[in-house]
Each structure stands twice: as C-alpha cells, then as structure tokens.
Structure 1
Amino acid sequence: MAYVQQQQLPSSAFDQQQYARPRHSSSREFAPPQPTNRESQYSVTPPRARPSRETARPSSQYQQQTQNNYGPDHEDYDDHTPPDPEDDNDDFFNGGNSPNPPMNGQPRQARSSYNPASAASDNFPPYQNSSSIATHSIRAPSPPPQGPILDHSHLRPGKQAALLSHEQTLELYRANAKKTQDPELQFEFAVFLLDASKSLPIPQPTNANVMEVEKALEKRDEIVREGISLLKRLADRGHAASQYFLADCYANGIGTPKSKQDFDRAYPLFVLAAKHGHPDAAYRAGTCCENGWGCRRESAKALQFFRKAAASLHPGAMYRLGIAELNGELGLSKSPKEGVKWLKRSAEHATAEFPHALHELALLHERGIDNVLFVDYEYSTELLAQAAELGYAPSAYRLGECYEYGKMGCPQDPALSIHYYNIAAQQNHRDACFALTAWYLVGSPGVLPQSDTEAFLWAQKAAEGGLAKAMYAVGYFLEVGIGTVANMQEAITFYKRAAELGDKRAAQRLKGSQSQPMHQPGGPGAVLHRNSDSDANGKGGKDKDCVIM
C-alpha cells in the first residue's frame, strides 16, 4: 500500500550533519542559522540595494564551503518561512534581509561583524570570543546530538498521513503504467492487477448487503479482465514472460468462463513461450504432453520439451528426466545410472518449488542401488535436511521419524523430532499432524508441555486429511473425553468413517456396545497410560500397548 505524506519532513536528520563539520578559520566563526529566522547574523546594516553575484563571490575556500553548507539552496536546509518575493534563495550572497552591499564600487568584504546577542538561543549557546577561538582554532561547542546520526525519522508518516484506498492504489499504478511503453513494466502492472484481485476486500454476504457483495465481485472481475487483456496484448507482441503467465492463468482457471481450467488455450501459449526460450514454459508444455492436457498424449514430444527445459537447468525438468530414466518412463529404457545423474543435477539446483530431487536421492542413499549408488545414511539425512529447510513436507516428516526413533544413525532428539514434524504439519501433512498428537499426549520435559487439548486438535486436523487411524483417535477422544467434551454420537461418526477406510479397531469398536463408553481411560492399554519412561527405545516401544498409536 502507498502512503500519502501530508506533513513536511523534519530536518533533524540533516541538521546534525551540518553542525558537525569542523571549522578551519577562527575569524569567521558564527552560529548556525535559525530555521525560523531568515535575518542574517553577519550584519546589522539594513540592505540598500540588491547586490550582484559578481561582487558577492567569497574570496576564500572557507566562504565557498560555508555557502554550500548554509545557503538555502542546499537540499539539507530546512526553512519553514516562506521566501521573500524578491529573494533569489541565496542568503549567503544576499545576506537574507540584511546584506552587506558593496561600498564605492569595492567588492564586499567578508562579514566579520557578529552579534552574539542575536545568535544566542535556547538550542545554541553563545560562542566564545574571537581571540579565544583563534587561539585554539576550534569553534564553540555544539549541543550533543539528540539521537543517532543516521536518523530516519523523517521517513516516517506524519500525523496526517493516511493509507491509500485499494482503488486509489490501483489508479496510481495504472497511471504510471500508461506513461511507459516498456513491456517489462506493463507486465509487472498486469501481474499486480491479478494479485490485487485476490486481495480485494469482499464483504461477508448477508441479507442486507447483497448489492454491495455483487458490486465487489463485479469490481474484482473487472480487475481480472484488465490484467488478462494487458497480458494478451503483450503476449501478441512476443513477450515470453507474458505468454507464460497468461498460459498459467488459463491453466489455473483465472480469467476463464466459470473459472474453469482451460488447457486448450494454455498449451499453445506454453509452447509459444518455450520457443522464446522460457524454461518454465518448456517444462509446463512437457507436462501437458505427458498427461494429454490441451493436446494429444505424446511421450516423445514431452521428452523433447523436458530436455529443452533441462538444458536451461530447470530443476523440475531434470527431476522428471531422472525419474523417467530410473523407472523406464516416457519411452525410455531403465537406466539407473543416467537417472541418478539427472537427480544429482536437479538436487544441485533445487528450489522451494522443486525440492523433489533432494528427497528422492536421500531415499536412494538410504537403500542403495547395486553398482550405482552406495548406502550412506549420513548423506541421506543431509539431503533430507536440505529439502526440509526448503519446506518439503515429506522430507521434514521423514527426519522427524529419524530423530524420534533413532533411525538412520540419528540420535533420539525430541526437540529436533518435534521441529521437523512441525514443519511438515504446518503444510497439512497428515502423518506429521498425527505424530504431533502423540507428542502432545506425553509431552517432552523442557521441550514440549503435555496437552490433551493440543493432541485432540492435531488429531482432528489429521482426520480432516483423510488419515484413518486419526479418525479412530478422534473418535476415542470424543468417547472418553480427552482434550474435549465427551460426545458419544460424534465419536460413533468418526468410528464409522475410520471403518469405511479399513481401520480394524474402529470396526471392532462399532461391534461392541455403543451405549456405554470405554472403561478405564487411564488404565493399562489406554492412551493416557503413555509415559516417557515406559520404554528406553523411544516412542516405538510406547506405541505397542497404546490404543491410539
């Protein structure tokens, strides 16, 4: 969002730099100019005539430095008093309202008449006499700075500043985009429009604001149409980035009728952008050919596009070629050696969007490939950590398991286990969510406090992801009343959902009495019996007697 600055910038950041400069001549010592008084402090004689710049030029280097430092033309000078109509904004030459004009055709001498009484103020003490200053060749002491030298307070919005509205911001960007013919700037504006349409505030529909909601939706559609129209014009001119972005919009149902995916229009644009050397477009065109999206399913053509993108070091294309070589896909014969080569190249260029090669290589090093890849647990965990730091949920979940159970040479570390589980769970990885349920049930001293409520919530999130054992766990929590209020009817609902997905415990529970809840919720075999010292080998030992895990 943009700010409207309605308050004049303070000058505190500049005054400190002006007054901190050393003085090299003692005979011309003077007090810093007062921002609210434009009268000169060098002469008490009223001006008789406007002097010319030819006769007012200072004859010393110091005077030139003083002019640069204290003249109103300097950009650091902050004066709130409106200038005199006849003033030429150069107080050093003109002396403000008190110049010292030339006398009898002689050049004006450097001003040495100084009035200490007029210079003294609340902020600046009077200067020492000239003899003392001349002796030490220093200027009078300045007041200590009130803040850091690099003060950016003048960049903060003033009291009267206000945020531009959503519509005003769009108008501001639109006006700037119309002033240029640069396709890159126009492309950025089109992308901004489409992003702005997603954040356009839409009021919650009620019976009283039906018209308001319709107007907001229509406004959003207008912004999308404007962005798509601009992308079309740029794409017709051969702008590769616009061709790819427009194709991506069509593939995701943006700017299409009823917001449906339209690969029939997306695929030709992917191909067109790929011909202009756009690596992402080549990769997406290969994906369309592989799956038959907007075109016929042709493995050979898909392979061509993937190779074209891989030549530009596209990590997704290199990963796809590696998997194809490993499994003999896309018309290729199995070649683990070539597949590993492609995966290694993809892993070297892995991004948050394409971290898959790191995870696949880690799994390969975990089990090894005869005569191609040896088993290396340490390197495998390094690859998993790299992928997890890029936000890849399966790698984070795998590392969580390794540090919980001590697998692949990893020490049992509850803190690291919970850390990696949390990375995966934040991306709705259902197994990671359910793993956090187990950790919250028992807690970890100094790492994670025990909380039945958190355990129930994470189990509920895992159940929403379709995990059968999580559905059974939620049913158990609801039946017994762990972390939530007991509700037998709702518990039966979750048991039925889990049984439909093949959970044998849920099916067995439904065969029993549904009028009475399970007994001994804290006794042997129940979920609350889990404790941190029941088994020295980690959670695996604790899970064997647990109703849930």
Structure 2
Amino acid sequence: MSGRSKQTLYDTHINMYPPSRGGAGAQVTTMDSPSRSVPYPVDDVQQPMSPIPLQSAMTSQSIRSNSTLGEISKAGTPTNTRYDQPFTFNSPSGLQHSTDSFTNFVHNNSSVDTFQSASDSSAQLAAPPPPYNETELRSRNLPDESQNFLQEKAYRKPSDLAELEETREKPAATGEKPILKRDLSQYNERAKRFHEVYEITVNDSPNFTPNKQMKWCETLFEYAFIDEFIGNYNINGDKLKRTLTPDETLKNQKIILEHALKVLTKLITLQYGPALYLMATLYSHQPYIQVKIQSVIARNDVKALDYYSRAAVLDLSDACYRAGVCYEYERGTPADWNKTRCLQKAIYFYEKGALSCQNVACMYKLGMFCLHGVIDPASGQAIVHQDIKAALSWFGRAIRRDEKVGQTRKDNKPAEASDKPLGDLVSPQAMYELAKIYEFEGLAPQLQQGLAAVGIIQDTVRALRYYHRCATRFSYPLAQWRLGQCYEFGHLNLPVIANKSIAWYAKAATAKPRGNPIAMMALSGWYLTGATGVLKSNNKEAYSWARKACQASEGKLARAEYALGFYYEKGIGCKPNADSARDHYTKAAQAGHQKAQERLRGGNEWRVG
C-alpha cells in the first residue's frame, strides 16, 4: 500500500466517529451531523464499464478492512516521550493579517515557551490561570502598571476604564466583591454563549472544576478562530467600543489562544482524560471542535498517539477507538514495531473500547477483523484467524440498541429512552455489513463458504431491511447508494424504478461532509442515458458528476477515471482534450482497469474528436 493510500485510510477511519460537540468524552455525532464522515470503498471493484449507456454491473461488495480478532497478547504501551513543550507554534497561514507570526509572539511575549512538559504527570501543579478580570484588579487598587497591562489586553483607552466605575455595583455592607454588570442587549447569540461560559468559569476559578474548565478551554479554542468575535470582543466577553484593526485582531487572537493553552496544560497535569484526548486531536490535526489548529500547531503523530493512548487508559471511549486506528495504520508508532505488533496493539485498544466503553465503532472494527482474518504480509502467518460467529456477534452488539433492527435493551426501554442520542449507540457501518452478509451474493466465495458453514444463508428480506434502516434512520451513504443500485437493476427483488434509483443515488452523492464517489458515478450514468419521463439526458451533468467522483475518490476509483478519460476523448459534456484523456486513462489503468489499459495500448489508434 502506498504512503498516500495509508494516509487516506488513516484520515478516513480516524474520523469515522468524531466526538459530538457536547463534550470531549462523548462518542458519536448523530446521524444528522454534518461533521460525520464514513469509510467509503473508493477502490474500484475492477469491472469493465460500458461508456454508453453507462450500465455498471457493480457488485455490492465493498472494500473491507483486511483484518480481525483472536486471542492476542496485549503489547505494552510505548514509554511516554517527555516533551519539552506541549505545543510548537507555526506561522498561521490561514489568517489574513500582516503582522508577526505566532512563533515570534511565543518567544517574545508569553509564557507558552516555559510551560511544564504536558507528558510529565509528576510535575508540580501550578495555580490555575484565572480569566482576565478587570473588575477584580481594579477593586484591588493595583498599580498603574497593571492597569496599563489590562488596557493592552482589552484594547481599552483610559476613558473606557473609567466607564467601568459607572457600570459597577456598589459593594454590599457584607464586604462582597463588586460585580460588573454587562448590558448584553447588543450582543449577538454567539457572543452571549461565550459570555455564559466565561461567567461560569470566573465563578469556578477558586475550585478549578475540570469539566467546567474543559468547557472554557474548548470555547476559547473555538472562538479564537471566529473572525467576527475576535474583532469585536475580548477574552472577558466584553463587547469592544470599536472593531479592531487587523493587527489588533491578531493580538486578541493570540491572547485567547495563549489562555486556552494554559488551561489545557493545567488540565493535563491533573491527568484529566478529556484534556489528554483534546491534546491528541490537536496534534493529529483531527480536532472535534471547529478550529483551524493546523495553522498554529505542527502535526506530530507520535505525540498524538501518546495522548490518545493515555486517554484510552482512563477509559475515554473515543480515545480507545482513535488509538486503535493509529496503531492499525501505523501512525506515530515506534519505528522498531512491525506490522504484527502494531496490529496486536490496535486490537487491544479496540477490545478495551468495545468492552470497557461500549464503543460501537470499536465493535465494528473487531467484527471486520473477525470476518476476514488478518495475514501478516511478511511471514504469511495469520495474525488473526477468521471467526465468522465472533464477527456476527460483534456486528450484532454494535447495532443492538436500534429498537427496530437490533435486540431490545435488557430494561425493555426503547433506544430513545437512553441518555445518549441513537447515533451514539448504533454503528451504521456494522448494520451495512450485516446487510451485505444476508444479501450473500457478491461476497467472496471463501467468505460465502465460511458463512454457510455457520448456517448463514441468503435472506433478501432481512438484507433489504438492514439496508433501508441504515439508509433512512442513519443516513449512511453506502446504504443509500446500494438502494439506488437495487432500484436501478432490480436487485433484492425490488422493481426497477428510475426516479427512486436517482433519488437514492443523489442522497449518497451529496452526503456531508463528502459524497460517495460511487454514487456520483451512478448519477453520471443516469445523466448520460437519461430516464424516460424522469430525467433528460444531459452530457454536461454526466461529465460534471464523473469529475466530482474523481475528485472525491482522489483518483482511486478506476471506473470514474476511465469514464472521465472517455468523456475527454469524445468531448462528452466538455471540450475534447487528448492530454486529459490520456492522464485519466493512465490513472485507471494503473488501478487495474482493463478497458483503460486497452485504450492506452491502442496508441495512435484512438484520437480526440
């Protein structure tokens, strides 16, 4: 497997179940979340495609993870590396401000470069950094030097500071601290939410309650990259008198980020699991919060894996899954570890996530390992032996909380009665795999034999129920694509209905965050041929969807590359272009597409136009 292919698989699988916005330890976004991504089988099934009409004989078999589970010794976690700093700043390329870089800021202006090692759990705990609080400082009659510092932080003029006296409540006879009253009438909803978190954090400063401070840390990271906010509000949640200049905005952003890093580092020294997990996501450039952190923090897979592993030890559900993915795809793993040892460690974390945290993504992974078995490519020895019954058991556990398809809960309550959203409790990937198993046709002969040996036979009704439930209840693009295919070719005893086929393909092709490239190619075929009374033939749309399929699959879907090459050769929906046609034929041929190889071997026998 090429380095780029491994990178693509890692990036895809690491985000199979990104945590919900509700908390660092949550497991899965719900089915309607635009942030959820799924592992699409973008590798071609290597079946010839007739360009006109586009009647793809695609099977239902998807590319699977060539792995599974048995009795495997648990390899130890690598010794933690002691890091000089928890973060290394880079120059933020995404910001359109003509000012100094974060690197200069760190070296010249802040205490970020003197942080204790975030990996050193024995470090002496420093006092938690409180939010900047102008009222408190003013009430303590601090010297002018401190007030000048505040002016810099909040970008206030002396006259602005004087106005605070007018908005401050008078001290009560009991000697309580004066309270700063803020008029929130001019705040937008986003700023009001920030202010609410800020107030909770201020009240919690003496206690430094981890979950409250974690929320503050996440909020700071997120709001530091919202241009409208950092241009009009300071870290205290104050609305500024004027919109900041670009230089001032960048400076305000630095203040917010610096404080977020201080809070995060403090939480890590307390060995707070969600903070360890957040740190890991930042280092792996796969954060669960909406931040452009790659412009600030250098990617470091070794540190990311260390933090994922440490959070997993504390039974952080998503950390178990992501640590497993890192080991499975050898991201950040020790250089002297071979494939077998890495996979053993991946299985250890998947088992931990499945058994200790009830993580359905880990259950799905274990099911895939069991379904196919894993062979060490170097020695040819089985790392994991195929175990069909175990695979079915893991898949069944991963969907058991779906009240219509899976088993009912022991307390006989429907899944909706749980505290977690349904999407957090059910693996659509596992449901899709079960649908393919009961469809039976299209599976590899060896797998069919294994299934038959344990009494699994074709059950089209059950397969269709799984596909439909997965496509509708969980909006899973692969299931949507499969239903579109069934209605196009009459599979699973469904009638051929063009409008239903097109509708399901469209759902899969336009799914968020990225559409399914196979469904895009199916739409290209429908636009190429048209459907009587349903869809008019449109060559431009046919070309457009083929081009989108190539982009979405990053050149790995051979049939899409071949189709686009054909479109360029014949000028279908685009201007004829021999060079572009040859480029796409070459990509398809390299992926094993027979017709593309034939087109290229023809040499001068084919020409544009």
Please give the TM-score of this superposition, normalised by the length of structure 2. 0.50
Taking the aligned partners of 2:601 and 2:246, their CA distance within structure 1 comes to 50
Secondary structure, aligned partner of 1:408: helix
Structure 1, residues 224-264: CA drift from partner, whole Å, max 9, x if none?
A: 44434322222322332222222222222665797443233
Which residue in the other structure is 1:196 paired with? 223
Structure 1, residues 341-378: CA drift from partner, whole Å, max 9, x if none?
A: 11111122584894221121112112251132221112
Which residue in the other structure is 1:438 paired with? 525
Decide whether aligned partners of structure 1 residues 196 and 363 sit closer, same or farther in structure 2, where only a CA change above 3 A counts.
same
Decide whether aligned partners of structure 1 residues 380 and 513 sit closer, same or farther in structure 2, where only a CA change above 3 A counts.
closer
Is the counterpart of residue 347 in structure 1 residue 394 in structure 2? no
Is the counterpart of residue 320 in structure 1 residue 347 in structure 2? no
Per mean C-alpha deviation after superposition, the further-off stretch among 181-190 and 455-464 is 181-190
Secondary structure, aligned partner of 1:238: coil
* Residues 309 and 320 in structure 2, CA contact (< 8 A), matched pair in contact too: yes
Is the counterpart of residue 405 in structure 1 residue 489 in structure 2? yes
* Candidates 425, 437, 453, aligned match of 1:371: 453
Is the counterpart of residue 287 in structure 1 residue 325 in structure 2? yes
Q: What is the aligned length? A: 350
The one-letter amino acid paired with 1:357 is: A
Taking the aligned partners of 1:473 and 1:415, their CA distance within structure 2 comes to 23
Q: CA deviation at 1:430?
A: 2.0
Which residue in the other structure is 1:186 paired with? 213
Q: CA deviation at 1:459?
A: 1.6
Which residue in the other structure is 2:305 paired with? 267
Q: CA deviation at 1:274?
A: 2.7
Which residue in the other structure is 2:22 paired with? none
Q: Percent identity?
A: 26
Which residue in the other structure is 2:501 paired with? 417
Per mean C-alpha deviation after superposition, the further-off stretch among 242-251 and 173-182 is 173-182
* Candidates 556, 563, 566, aligned match of 1:473: 563
Which residue in the other structure is 1:304 paired with? 348
Decide whether aligned partners of structure 1 residues 167 and 496 sit closer, same or farther in structure 2, where only a CA change above 3 A counts.
same
Which residue in the other structure is 2:57 paired with? none
Secondary structure, aligned partner of 1:401: helix
Which residue in the other structure is 2:420 paired with? none
The one-letter amino acid paired with 1:191 is: E
* Residues 200 and 212 in structure 2, CA contact (< 8 A), matched pair in contact too: no
* Residues 585 and 597 in structure 2, CA contact (< 8 A), matched pair in contact too: no
Q: CA deviation at 1:457?
A: 1.0
The one-letter amino acid paired with 1:241 is: P
Which residue in the other structure is 2:573 paired with? 483
Instruction: Name the structure, 1 or 2, with higher relative contact order (CA <8 Å, separation 6+).
Output: 2
Taking the aligned partners of 1:215 and 1:475, their CA distance within structure 2 comes to 51
Taking the aligned partners of 2:603 and 2:247, their CA distance within structure 1 comes to 48
Taking the aligned partners of 1:174 and 1:314, their CA distance within structure 2 comes to 32
* Residues 197 and 215 in structure 2, CA contact (< 8 A), matched pair in contact too: no
The one-letter amino acid paired with 1:370 is: A
Q: CA deviation at 1:267?
A: 3.0
Secondary structure, aligned partner of 1:187: helix
Which residue in the other structure is 2:285 paired with? 252
Taking the aligned partners of 1:337 and 1:462, their CA distance within structure 2 comes to 36
Q: CA deviation at 1:214?
A: 7.8
Structure 1, residues 417-475: CA drift from partner, whole Å, max 9, x if none?
A: 11221222123322211110111123334543433322221122123332444344334
Decide whether aligned partners of structure 1 residues 395 and 511 sit closer, same or farther in structure 2, where only a CA change above 3 A counts.
farther
Taking the aligned partners of 1:493 and 1:309, their CA distance within structure 2 comes to 44
Per mean C-alpha deviation after superposition, the further-off stretch among 484-493 and 337-346 is 484-493
Per mean C-alpha deviation after superposition, the further-off stretch among 438-447 and 483-492 is 483-492
| C-alpha RMSD over aligned residues | 3.8
* Residues 472 and 506 in structure 1, CA contact (< 8 A), matched pair in contact too: no
Which residue in the other structure is 2:429 paired with? 356
Per mean C-alpha deviation after superposition, the further-off stretch among 255-264 and 416-425 is 255-264
Decide whether aligned partners of structure 1 residues 498 and 247 sit closer, same or farther in structure 2, where only a CA change above 3 A counts.
closer
Q: CA deviation at 1:308?
A: 2.2
Q: CA deviation at 1:184?
A: 2.3
Taking the aligned partners of 1:481 and 1:452, their CA distance within structure 2 comes to 9
Taking the aligned partners of 1:416 and 1:334, their CA distance within structure 2 comes to 38
Secondary structure, aligned partner of 2:315: coil
Secondary structure, aligned partner of 1:370: helix
Taking the aligned partners of 2:312 and 2:360, their CA distance within structure 1 comes to 16
Taking the aligned partners of 2:564 and 2:466, their CA distance within structure 1 comes to 34
Decide whether aligned partners of structure 1 residues 220 and 363 sit closer, same or farther in structure 2, where only a CA change above 3 A counts.
farther
Structure 2: gaps (5+ residues):
1-183, 230-244, 288-292, 335-340, 375-381, 403-422, 441-447
Decide whether aligned partners of structure 1 residues 499 and 366 sit closer, same or farther in structure 2, where only a CA change above 3 A counts.
closer
* Residues 282 and 297 in structure 2, CA contact (< 8 A), matched pair in contact too: no
* Candidates 446, 456, 467, aligned match of 2:543: 456
Decide whether aligned partners of structure 1 residues 487 and 247 sit closer, same or farther in structure 2, where only a CA change above 3 A counts.
closer
The one-letter amino acid paired with 1:378 is: V
The one-letter amino acid paired with 2:366 is: L
* Residues 253 and 262 in structure 1, CA contact (< 8 A), matched pair in contact too: no
Q: CA deviation at 1:161?
A: 7.0
* Residues 523 and 545 in structure 2, CA contact (< 8 A), matched pair in contact too: yes
Which residue in the other structure is 1:24 paired with? none
Which residue in the other structure is 1:142 paired with? none
The one-letter amino acid paired with 2:396 is: K
* Residues 265 and 294 in structure 1, CA contact (< 8 A), matched pair in contact too: yes
* Residues 325 and 338 in structure 1, CA contact (< 8 A), matched pair in contact too: yes
Which residue in the other structure is 2:475 paired with? 391
Taking the aligned partners of 1:334 and 1:498, their CA distance within structure 2 comes to 32
Decide whether aligned partners of structure 1 residues 418 and 194 sit closer, same or farther in structure 2, where only a CA change above 3 A counts.
farther
Structure 1, residues 178-232: CA drift from partner, whole Å, max 9, x if none?
A: 3324432322232233333454479xxxxxxxxx878766765654444343222
Taking the aligned partners of 1:395 and 1:170, their CA distance within structure 2 comes to 39
- Show the 5 A alignment for 1:96-175: 164=188, 173-174=197-198
Decide whether aligned partners of structure 1 residues 266 and 379 sit closer, same or farther in structure 2, where only a CA change above 3 A counts.
same
Is the counterpart of residue 242 in structure 1 residue 275 in structure 2? yes
Structure 1: gaps (5+ residues):
1-159, 203-211, 518-549
Decide whether aligned partners of structure 1 residues 288 and 459 sit closer, same or farther in structure 2, where only a CA change above 3 A counts.
closer
Decide whether aligned partners of structure 1 residues 256 and 481 sit closer, same or farther in structure 2, where only a CA change above 3 A counts.
closer
Taking the aligned partners of 1:342 and 1:356, their CA distance within structure 2 comes to 12
Which residue in the other structure is 2:264 paired with? 231
Q: CA deviation at 1:513?
A: 5.7
Q: CA deviation at 1:279?
A: 1.9
Structure 1, residues 295-337: CA drift from partner, whole Å, max 9, x if none?
A: 4544444433322211232111111222222333494433211
